[in-house]
Chains A and B, each alone.
Chain A
Amino acid sequence: MSSAWRSVFTYNKYAQITARAVRASLKEEQRLAAEKRGLTLMRYQQWDSGKGGPQVRGKSLVVTTFLILRQITLAEEEAAKAA
């Protein structure tokens, strides 16, 4: 088989490319659903008093990192208030 990509891409990148092509080939309905979850770099969920909140998917590393940092800052502020 063609392993010409090995010298240029990592396996993860290769898997990402093939998965994207497969997603793009789906019928309209399934494609929309697939593209919604499509490229996920991160997924997080905030837990409050033993209950998990909604799961948030991050498509962009920058946005997700920002959101997580904000959550951490908020949590720290709350903890400081409580102390």
Chain B
Amino acid sequence: MSSLRLLTSVTRRATTNFAHARRGYAEVSEKLKLSLALPHKAIYNSQDVVQVNIPAESGDMGILSNHVPSIEPMRPGVVEVIENSGSQKFFVSGGFATVHPNNRLTINAIEAAPLEDFSIEAIRAGLAEANKVASGSGSEADKLEARIEADVYEALQHALAK
């Protein structure tokens, strides 16, 4: 009988505790620390930011402070970094975004550059060339390579058109 009473009191306490740990949106008070690193330089090095939007393989996603730890492979696409002072967009060639448990986000890519560094003419020329190779009579690997390149150029055009 007493053990039953103990059990019920434990469950009651557990439910009240659960009620205190409410679910909610990620806290914005503590800043997310972003590192955006390329093999040749670090664009961001553990800098406080508000939000980062990444082109994850599974779909575009926005990362705020206190995000659940995760590893996301990225498509070639736009990484948008939102700071208090404004936002900046970079085009990355793909890579990985890792959210660490201590509120840090690291993004690794081979190439990344601000959108204003890209030339629309160069992209158009590249796309035309890649499409020509992709529909040509080369080997399967060559055509696939051109297909991948064409996807990158299309993503770039889409990013610059906005």
A positions within 8 Å CB-CB of B: 1-2, 4-5, 8-9, 14-28, 30-31, 34, 37, 40
Contacts and interface: CB of A to CB of B under 8 A. Distances in A.
Interface string B112-144: 110001110011001000100000000011001
Interface stretch (B9-17, B18-26, B145-153): B145-153
A8 B76 CA distance: 19
B46 to A, nearest CB: 24
Given A18-B110, A21-B153, A30-B117, A5 B148 contact: yes
B140 A8 contact: yes
Contacts of B92: 22
Interface in B74-104: 75-76, 91-95
A21 B93 contact: yes
Given A17-B149, A22-B156, A24-B122, A30 B113 contact: yes
Given A4-B144, A17-B149, A28-B119, A23 B111 contact: yes
B124 to A, nearest CB: 9
Contacts of A14: 94, 148
B48 interface: no
Given A24-B126, A34-B111, A18 B117 contact: no
Contacts of A31: 119, 122
A27 B148 contact: no
Contacts of A34: 111, 113
A16 B110 contact: yes
